[in-house]
Copies of this chain bind each other. A is one copy, B any other.
Amino acid sequence: MSDLYWPGDDRAGEHFGQEAFVRALVDVEEDWLARLGHPADLQALVQSRDLEVLAREAERGGNPVIGLVDRLRDGLTGEPASWLHRGLTSQDVVDSALVRMAERAAGDLRADLAALGADLTALAQAHRDTPMVARTLTQHAVPTTFGLRVAQWLAALVDADEQLSGLSFPDQVGGAAGTRAAMVELGVEVDLEPLPWHTVRAPVTRLGDALVTTTDALARIANDVLVMSRPEIGELSEGRPGGSSTMPGKANPVLSVLVRRAALTTPQLAATLHVGAASQVDDRADGGWHAEWATVRDLVRRTLTAASQSVELVAGLQVHAERMAATLAAAGASVRAEQRAMTDLTGRVPLPSYDGQAGAIVDAVVLRAQRHWRSA
């Protein structure tokens, strides 16, 4: 599975694909059937070739479950056929399937972020004392180190992964309208927890918010690579830049471009999940719920893709420390203007270097990152 409209999409693998969705829906039904005491192997009853029909049928009931249950029931006999889906409602099955897919995707995403975090840690440490000029509002400011810049990337990444680590992925088991009346009628023992959340969508919006926080952090890196790999700056370059269809020799920072692309789209997708949540009403919403499925899918796949691209980007990143040093030297006295203002005030001799706590901040961020991933 990949997507010509979203280069790199295949990095997201099968997560939230069409088949993965059906498989997850069937899993939910299968688990429930087992819980009802009538286990059956349901996965075998749905084939890839059924996908198209299931997708087309999904419109009739507004979601893919009704058609799927019909199909499964057709393939069963006896008790499993009678008991299939009893006590559940379509939203139970769709929500549980989405959440299970999301949990798996978040696992893979966090593995990529951990790898990225390790690479950034090494990079920050390697360049802890590599001098470069700081830039604020696009202009040269004061001396800094490339290590401190990388530490900012790392800090943003830890923030994002902390949000991801706090997510919960509750199954949905509410029945027709969240009362579990049919389950009680059937005599099924159902634990109270997790409580039904048919119209309480924080599990979904929190996921969206954590994903967009992740692409924010990844774009933080990409934006810097895009600026610093401009030929006039030349302090960084991608390890394996992309070419042009017409200009031989062109070396484009393609991974950074594609990561930045993702981050321009995900804030609005997360907002859509909130608009959906803010449209919740009654015991099942009339559109606010349905707006979530494709939105979560796109958010997840784009974040997975951007994370994977970022791992490759950072692993291959070329750091041109000599160019950093040369730019800083060329900036000359102007980047020491603040220091002069301070020594004018104190009357002291200027310190030889003017990078303050840069090294200590790098160390602290690295320590925080290490603790975060060690405990993860």
Q: Mark A316-354, 1 if CB is under 8 A from B, else 0.
A: 000000000001000100100111111101101011001
Q: Is there contact, CB below 8 Å, between A55 and B3? A: yes
This chain: copies in complex: 4
- Shortest CB-to-CB span from A152 to chain B, Å, is 5
Q: Does A105 contact B (CB under 8 A)?
A: no
Q: Is there contact, CB below 8 Å, between B4 and A21? A: yes
- Shortest CB-to-CB span from A195 to chain B, Å, is 6
Q: List chain B residues, Cβ under 8 A from A368.
A: 195
Q: Is there contact, CB below 8 Å, between A177 and B144? A: yes
Q: How many A residues touch the partner, as a band?
A: 35 or more
A253 to B290, CA, bound (A): 13
Q: Mark A278-299, 1 if CB is under 8 A from B, else 0.
A: 1111111011101101110110
- Shortest CB-to-CB span from A8 to chain B, Å, is 4
- Known contacts being A183-B356, A249-B334, A295-B265, is A163 close to B206, with CB within 8 Å? yes
Q: Mark A355-370, 1 if CB is under 8 A from B, else 0.
A: 1111011001100100
In the complex, 18 of the A-B residue pairs with CB atoms within 8 angstroms, ordered by the A residue number, are A6-B294, A7-B63, A61-B254, A66-B244, A136-B282, A137-B253, A137-B282, A138-B286, A139-B229, A179-B355, A181-B354, A182-B338, A183-B357, A195-B361, A215-B278, A220-B278, A261-B288, A268-B272
- In chain A, residues 232-269, which have Cβ atoms closer than 8 Å to a Cβ of chain B? 232-233, 242-254, 256-269
Q: Does A59 contact B (CB under 8 A)?
A: yes
Q: Is there contact, CB below 8 Å, between A361 and B206? A: no
Chain B minimum-CB-distance residue to A225 = B138
Q: Does A185 contact B (CB under 8 A)?
A: yes
Q: List chain B residues, Cβ under 8 A from A196.
A: 361
Q: Is there contact, CB below 8 Å, between A184 and B356? A: yes
Q: Does A372 contact B (CB under 8 A)?
A: no
